[in-house]
Chains A and B, each alone.
Chain A
Amino acid sequence: MTRIVVEQKVLKENDRLAAGLRARFRDAGVFCLNLISSPGAGKTTLLERTLEGFPAGERVAVLTGDIQTENDARRLACFGFPVRQITTGGTCHLEARMVERALADWRLEDLELLFIENVGNLVCPSSYDLGEALKVVLLSVPEGDDKPLKYPAIFHKAELLVLNKLDLLPYTPFDLERARAHARRIHPGMEILEVSCTTGAGLNTWRQWLKERREAARREAALTR
């Protein structure tokens, strides 16, 4: 019996494609965010609120992933920015090759900001790098404040936590302080924003965060060029 040492990542091919995408985003000056949450936490609604706040001509686009239907792309397309649906046909997450294919005929040079809305799922999307600058995880109040402890992988890997549906706090046992503490136990120093896409509370802070991170990414790209 011979033991052959291999030591390679199982997702080596996905990681290779993601690295290629990351380099293309960097070269074209595109700041890319990968939005991840369970189904129904409000990813599409957050994007609607975000897109409606942008002036016409803003260089923003969205790729939105779902197992079936073009519903989300239809919801998002009415703001006049490029939107493309990726239907995975059963796969519970997006992979780098799907993003690469969806971007094939887009000119990245025309964009500055790209949102990738992942398939609603708190587990599987955490394993797949899509070439994004960073991952954002959404958690909504009705889901409960213990989700960071139950799904540590995504809370560990995401740089920002957006707590959504704050308007529902009076109707559930959700404890905001506990949710923050759970998230920071998994990910010390994690950035947390609290919003309600229904009332609009906190959305200005989210827009400000986006603006600052875009500028920081732009400065960083200028330095490495």
Chain B
Amino acid sequence: MHELSLAQTLLETVEAEARRRPGAHVVTVGVRVGELSGVDPEALSFSFEALVADTALAPLALAIERCPRRHRCPRCDFSFAATDSDFACPRCGSTPTPCVGGDELELTFLEVEEP
């Protein structure tokens, strides 16, 4: 359970960003969480909500974009989202296919209301 410390880091970044825009009110924080990031989106949401409640930023919504594990076929170069049970290329059936994405943990955007 490291989502609380991640939420804290996230909140500090948002606070720094908010200080750079006096008068602006941050409404939504967008994050991208990959399936392989080791982060549970629900625990992150819960932690973020709990931390925000004690700050001047409240209420502040967290919009989480979940990213699946992505594989790329070495034979036909097709890129696809892999499911739990199947990492074979859906186009040519090739296996194994190397994983090329899905470990994202990124702050993507802030939605602000400016005066």
Contact = CB atoms under 8 A, between A and B. Distances in A.
Q: Interface of chain A, helix or strand or loop or mixed?
A: mixed
A10 B108 contact: no
Size band of the interface chain A makes with B: 20 to 34
B106 A9 contact: yes
Contacts of B31: 10
B109 A10 contact: no
Given A10-B31, A13-B9, A188-B98, A4 B36 contact: no
A91 interface: yes
B103 A124 contact: no
A85 B105 CA distance: 29
Nearest to B31: A10
Contact of B17 (A1, A4, A13, A184): A4
Given A1-B113, A185-B87, A187-B99, A7 B106 contact: yes
A117 B36 CA distance: 22
B111 A156 contact: no
A199 interface: no
Given A10-B105, A153-B37, A92 B110 contact: no
A8 B13 contact: yes
B5 interface: yes
Contacts of A126: 38
The 5 A-B residue pairs whose C-beta atoms are closest, nearest first, are: A188-B96, A124-B2, A153-B38, A126-B38, A127-B38
